[in-house]
């Protein structure tokens, strides 16, 4: 790794670990993963979902809405502070998308693994109109929206899976 790249990575890590907004946007540091930050960034969404299971669906829907609304500001502000729109390490949108996808998943290890795989697939492949949303919208809303639609697609597939398995 060249010296400039290493220095840039160190500066980014310092900015993430010392700034509360960046720390949240980068998924409590998970977005600093050297590869597949979106995949690693989805893990806190699973943990958060697990922590809210006992509260019931209505509370979980409220948590999902709060994650999405707060995420618009967090993602936009973090992008502004680091000077890169939709930096790959900004994973609050993946946390939120994963959380929303799990709302539709069967409560089982297999169901959650399927939810994880489907959400990551939709987020990576970006079927229409996700790719268009990703390229056309700026700011925190643009950062969040493509992952929210990816979560919706994954949830629809999970719903069909559950319906077919009844």
What tens digit of pLDDT does each residue of 85-133 get?
889 999 999 999 999 999 999 999 999 999 999 999 999 998 888 777 7
Q: What is the pTM of this model?
A: 0.92
Q: Is 119 exposed, middle or buried (0-12, 13-18, 19+ CB in 10 A)?
A: buried
Give the DSSP letter of residue 137: -
pLDDT at position 72 over 60: yes
> Model confidence at 165, in pLDDT bands (50, 70, 90)?
confident
pLDDT at position 10 over 70: yes
> Nearest CA to 101 among 114, 86, 88?
114
Give the pLDDT confidence score for residue 132 in this predicted structure.
79
Q: Which of 7-11, 54-58, 72-76 has the lowest mean pLDDT?
A: 7-11
More confident residue, 154 or 166: 154
Angle, helix 109-125 to helix 139-164, in steps of 10 degrees = 140
């Amino acid at each position: 790794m060249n010296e400039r790249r290493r220095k840039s990575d160190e500066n980014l890590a310092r900015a993430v670990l010392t700034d509360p907004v960046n720390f949240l946007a980068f998924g409590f540091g998970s977005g600093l993963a050297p590869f597949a930050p979106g995949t690693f960034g989805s893990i806190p969404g699973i943990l958060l979902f697990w922590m809210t299971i006992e509260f019931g669906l209505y509370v979980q829907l409220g948590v999902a809405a709060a994650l999405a609304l707060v995420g618009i500001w967090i993602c936009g502000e973090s992008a502004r502070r680091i000077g890169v729109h939709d930096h790959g390490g900004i994973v609050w949108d993946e946390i939120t998308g994963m959380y929303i996808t799990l709302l539709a998943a069967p409560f089982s290890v297999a169901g959650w693994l399927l939810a994880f795989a489907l959400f990551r697939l939709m987020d990576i492949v970006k079927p229409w109109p996700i790719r268009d949303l990703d390229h056309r919208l700026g700011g925190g809303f643009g950062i969040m929206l493509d992952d929210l639609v990816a979560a919706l697609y994954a949830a629809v597939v999970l719903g069909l899976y559950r319906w077919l398995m009844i």
